Structure 1
């Protein structure tokens, strides 16, 4: 293919032929990478001049802009608009003139039909509000704060070795009592019941359904009503296993999963004894109907995966399954569906339980008057071997994975093993997959954090078998996705926070800001090239401030450079010159942060002025929290790891088996943590400064 033709076809498919790297340098994408990605996208993206449709399959407008459309047809034609609200509007379009849809059209999803004789074409018309939803408290200028937690890390006197919705309720009550507006969660997406050791919340099986390990079995009625369940639970061996799981420093996912699934199967037996008209059975049936094919596919995947894992302990994602089970529409899967209906229904029931328990948590937030309540996290993608790709493979480009290009900290780039959605398939389906994704994640929460919000604009695609450095950016229809995001945000009364860390063009930040999306400001990154930290009053009001994230060191880890020492042990920094530079840079950052804390008055005056030799202390920890609490950011998220002065991170990017990612628990139980005088003083101080 000629270079010019390749460039044109790649541009049509959204494949960038160059990008600006983390050092500000222009990088060119090889012709080989462009050709490979075009092949993965299929023939639809390889037609240089695609036929012009009578009307596009979907048209997206904002409610405050003119809505005009020029049909690809000669001569007069008629139009009909069936609105979401049930009205039907009609008219005629004279030859050569555009269709101007009526002003004042309500926000929503409407159906437009263009006809001329026997020629008829339809288009989905999406009308969106100008901006995403904002809670009344933020519109009134209040500065809110809350806890950002990794739910699985929570300890309590009664959980089963992993934080669950019962612990979340305790967290909500305690934080609300101390003035917090929200409790933020890690992604709670569905993982793999048959592979409990695959614990990363950012590599889910599906983003539409839930991680059932978070079910609080203590809050399941059928567990207490089933004599067999109670007999099992009181057995000395089970009690010892529970005590060991609870006391473990890290979440023992296989043990926790075995305990919980055993208990839940006993609960399921009791649930089956309920009468047909029992309110819970009726609610479960309604949940299954509403969940549709997506929910059914999730349950079928989990049931089939469990069966195959029992036969082969090494069985992983569906691409490694026997060929006969890889096609969800195939005859063998249909036979499995018929022969294992009860097991599939069990997994449907687990999703219902998890959904209802998380809904109870959000209801508790609202009862306690929290202005935001639960704050969920949407992962950037799904694992290529999970339920979502198995159930709808045509929506994804399964020959590629998502990652990041090379940078200073990751000279080889990153491959996250996530399957990218095909932007062409999304558009052809009227963006319904994106709409469904938002609805699933905005239900039952007051805020949604979008991990790697730049995914609304572009994702780094890596052809299978290539290195991360051999990838390219593939662009997505950002304006359409932003409009739909605003519409669903307003409908669900769910504000949106975009994780916009890293290299983000300023014009894109501005576009996100104009759409009502709150940015994400992390203390460690709010410094310039001279290591001068941004003063609290200069933080952007339309933002969420945080000390750190799940991918970064804790406050203690950052100050002691523990993350760099750990990275060296794990082999992440083979170049000693790079590691030496990072240590020197950290020392300069520490000094810059200490200077900023002194300038702002966050530290007592008798605190040393030099960072070198100054160790982390309760005084320094409080100062960092005070500094952030005084920020102009409308939102502040603080994490228990920093209240407890934990040194080790929850996740080390770039590692898999080298470090126990997503397993480290908090060092104290919730009961102990909220009885601690020092922690209570810190939280009172934060609350006072945010008022």
Structure 2
């Protein structure tokens, strides 16, 4: 095969073999790995003629479409678009008609040859020419349609989605004026309280919002609250969801649902001693018992759904509202509900039927005739799962309204995972959109020396473009609802993703590029529409220039204190962090403050086999000891520890003085946002997640060490929260 054919195909698919690794060294993906990746994309990498034919077909389709499937542009006085026309049309005056989102129409008659010619080709002996046509129009931001007509012909020659966006994402006005705020981040499932059913819920979230606001905080940051798989409750990773558009139904507080409040029979069921004993057992575990929680919640949810359909006077209005919700949410809700229903059915029949790839072939897609027939003949079962989503969304909405009523600057900030699991409802309903034999991940880096493959099939950039970015838009709309901020996990995904073929290890992947400017523009549009601030998790390998793009787009950066080191190894003063950022000490993928200081994560990594050899571990420990000393020097240097406090890191364990001193130190910084973890208030040791592990560690199960009622009554913690508020106010005044 000639290099030109492979190179052209790689360019067509956005595959880049060249990158700079986490250590700043140039790296090149081997041709063998590239070919393996292409094979898993569904093409024969060794068939030169087939690759050439696909390339030519794509080029042909580009020209024959006349207009692209979608045009995304920042709001301006005029817009330049590429129009591909057969030569017989280039001198004709054509009508360009824009139908705006608010039902207005704007028409212009333009001749293509009045504008620059940028390309020419011949298809089936017909010459096509591409012109950069300028449309002058005052257009509102939003989702419009552009159609191209011949005069006297009512049928358009071509149609495209025209999306006009702002230049940057939303920032609350008081933050624009310099206000610096703090909040807490929490794994919602891990909250312990006196009333929940063994897992944190949206009523616990309300309690957190009230207590945080009362102590001067302005937001609660959540783990992804995406829909998981109720039929497989132990598949609990919030970053490996079934759907990123729907919610984890286990977060509903069932005692706060109208059907529960209005029905004494269900109340008696929940208040009998046997049921209470089950709840007590679920509350008292150190780790979330997902199996037990799911069983008990579904048991009661089914009772509540029966109450809704009982015909009682109080239920009739609720049932009407629910039916309208189902209608409004449309196909997306039915897809999720149908998947949950079918997965529950198949797993009950056979435990190995873990997801659609393990189901009977006739059920392996939402669109199949067999699936549709089953849905039609099992309407009430599908509606039950719709009901589960409805009550969850209502409670999230209530929490959001509470945050706004408390005057919190952001209130709830949600987290958007980078993808969905292979056996997810999203892929089941949208097979054409995903590359199913590939997983996204990361090349080897400091956090993961072996590289990472996350088991999340990527969305095809081609298909996303052909669908006018609608899947991405719907994803943003779903996740920007009922919150004041959205954190985008692995925000580099807007630019590129590391694709790993299913038959390869993580280091044998390659980067695939996405249309970053279009995606950032769409992000800005939905951010402004939803009044939702955007935080981009930009850790790991960050290619040159993307930080500038993100900053210009109004996306807030993510500064983790333990990673913020200067070239000389010292830790950068938080006073020098950039303003457009959220600062934090640690994350869900890192050890707690106490765990970091005692190197618990490194010893745990050795125990779990995460390091290729002892030499790697020794170097990591040596570096950690050095970092600890530099941190101690920095915190002392800013007078955030008592003068008599030990200055030798090798003789200093992590205690409350150092822990709270670190948090206060970061609170004095320049970043507009400060997020601190509840487990660090409680001085906990165990991490919530160990990257690169699955069954080796109990990821996503660890609960907080105390009930939240105890946490906010703790005098020392209350004193810390007061210091955080004071430090943020002082930083705002500078």
Query: What TM-score, normalized to structure 2?
Result: 0.92
Residue 66 of structure 1: CA displacement? 4.1
Q: Distance in 2 between matches of 1:368 and 1:587?
A: 43
Correspondence for 1:81: 98
Matched, 1:571 2:606: no
1:541-576 deviations in Å (ceiling 9; x for gaps): 000000100000111001111111111122222411
Contact 2:77 2:138 in 1 (8 A): no
Contact 1:114 1:122 in 2 (8 A): yes
Contact 2:227 2:241 in 1 (8 A): yes
Q: Distance in 1 between matches of 2:372 and 2:559?
A: 49
1:666-691 deviations in Å (ceiling 9; x for gaps): 01101111110011001111011111
Contact 1:7 1:17 in 2 (8 A): no
Which secondary structure state, in structure 2, belongs to the residue aligned with residue 71 of structure 1?
strand
In the comparison of the two structures, how many residue pairs are matched?
A: 691
Aligned with residue 134 of structure 2, among 90, 100, 116: 100
Correspondence for 1:350: 388
Correspondence for 2:79: 67
RMSD over aligned CA atoms reads: 1.6
Contact 2:228 2:242 in 1 (8 A): yes
Report the more deviating stretch, 636-645 or 78-87: 78-87
After superposition, where does 1:494-533 map in structure 2 within 5 Å?
A: 494-533=532-571
Which blocks of at least 5 consecutive residues in structure 1 are unaligned? none
1:578-612 deviations in Å (ceiling 9; x for gaps): 10100000000000000000111111111122111
Contact 1:13 1:38 in 2 (8 A): no
Residue 40 of structure 1: CA displacement? 4.1
Matched, 1:110 2:144: yes
Q: Distance in 2 between matches of 1:95 and 1:446?
A: 45
Correspondence for 1:240: 277
Q: Distance in 1 between matches of 2:332 and 2:202?
A: 24
Report the more deviating stretch, 315-324 or 620-629: 315-324
Q: For residues 60 and 465 of structure 1, do their structure 2 counterparts lie closer, same or farther at Cα, with a shift above 3 Å needed?
A: same
Matched, 1:124 2:136: no
Matched, 1:487 2:503: no
Contact 1:64 1:130 in 2 (8 A): no
Q: For residues 27 and 599 of structure 1, do their structure 2 counterparts lie closer, same or farther at Cα, with a shift above 3 Å needed?
A: same
Matched, 1:58 2:74: no
Residue 39 of structure 1: CA displacement? 4.0
Which secondary structure state, in structure 1, belongs to the residue aligned with residue 391 of structure 2?
helix
Q: For residues 101 and 137 of structure 1, do their structure 2 counterparts lie closer, same or farther at Cα, with a shift above 3 Å needed?
A: same
Correspondence for 1:672: 710
Q: Distance in 2 between matches of 1:70 and 1:310?
A: 54
Correspondence for 2:129: none
Aligned with residue 203 of structure 1, among 240, 244, 250: 240
Correspondence for 1:475: 513
Contact 1:223 1:263 in 2 (8 A): no
Q: Distance in 2 between matches of 1:408 and 1:688?
A: 35
Correspondence for 2:119: none
Contact 2:628 2:649 in 1 (8 A): yes
Which secondary structure state, in structure 2, belongs to the residue aligned with residue 556 of structure 1?
helix
Matched, 1:297 2:335: yes
Correspondence for 1:3: 3
Contact 1:406 1:412 in 2 (8 A): yes
Correspondence for 2:32: 32
Query: What TM-score, normalized to structure 1?
Result: 0.97
Q: Distance in 2 between matches of 1:41 and 1:58?
A: 24
Contact 1:41 1:422 in 2 (8 A): no
Correspondence for 1:310: 348
Which secondary structure state, in structure 2, belongs to the residue aligned with residue 126 of structure 1?
strand
Q: For residues 70 and 420 of structure 1, do their structure 2 counterparts lie closer, same or farther at Cα, with a shift above 3 Å needed?
A: closer
Matched, 1:156 2:173: no
Q: Distance in 1 between matches of 2:510 and 2:453?
A: 12
Residue 319 of structure 1: CA displacement? 0.6
Which secondary structure state, in structure 2, belongs to the residue aligned with residue 19 of structure 1?
strand
Which secondary structure state, in structure 1, belongs to the residue aligned with residue 245 of structure 2?
strand
1:473-514 deviations in Å (ceiling 9; x for gaps): 110000000000000100000010000011112410010000
Contact 2:452 2:692 in 1 (8 A): yes
Contact 1:212 1:350 in 2 (8 A): yes
Residue 469 of structure 1: CA displacement? 1.6
Report the more deviating stretch, 227-236 or 649-658: 227-236
Residue 275 of structure 1: CA displacement? 5.7
Correspondence for 1:416: 454
Q: Distance in 2 between matches of 1:69 and 1:314?
A: 52
Residue 408 of structure 1: CA displacement? 4.3
1:119-138 deviations in Å (ceiling 9; x for gaps): 61011111110110001121
Residue 57 of structure 1: CA displacement? 1.3
Q: Distance in 2 between matches of 1:519 and 1:648?
A: 27
Q: Distance in 2 between matches of 1:114 and 1:485?
A: 27
Residue 530 of structure 1: CA displacement? 3.0
Aligned with residue 218 of structure 1, among 255, 271, 296: 255
Report the more deviating stretch, 538-547 or 81-90: 81-90
Matched, 1:261 2:298: yes
Aligned with residue 661 of structure 2, among 623, 645, 648: 623
Correspondence for 2:441: 403
Contact 1:403 1:462 in 2 (8 A): yes
1:3-59 deviations in Å (ceiling 9; x for gaps): 221011111110112211112222222323333433444579831460223111111
Correspondence for 1:555: 593
Which blocks of at least 5 consecutive residues in structure 2 are unaligned? 44-49, 116-131, 730-734
1:433-453 deviations in Å (ceiling 9; x for gaps): 000000000011100000000
Report the more deviating stretch, 499-508 or 575-584: 499-508
Residue 516 of structure 1: CA displacement? 0.2
Contact 2:352 2:358 in 1 (8 A): no
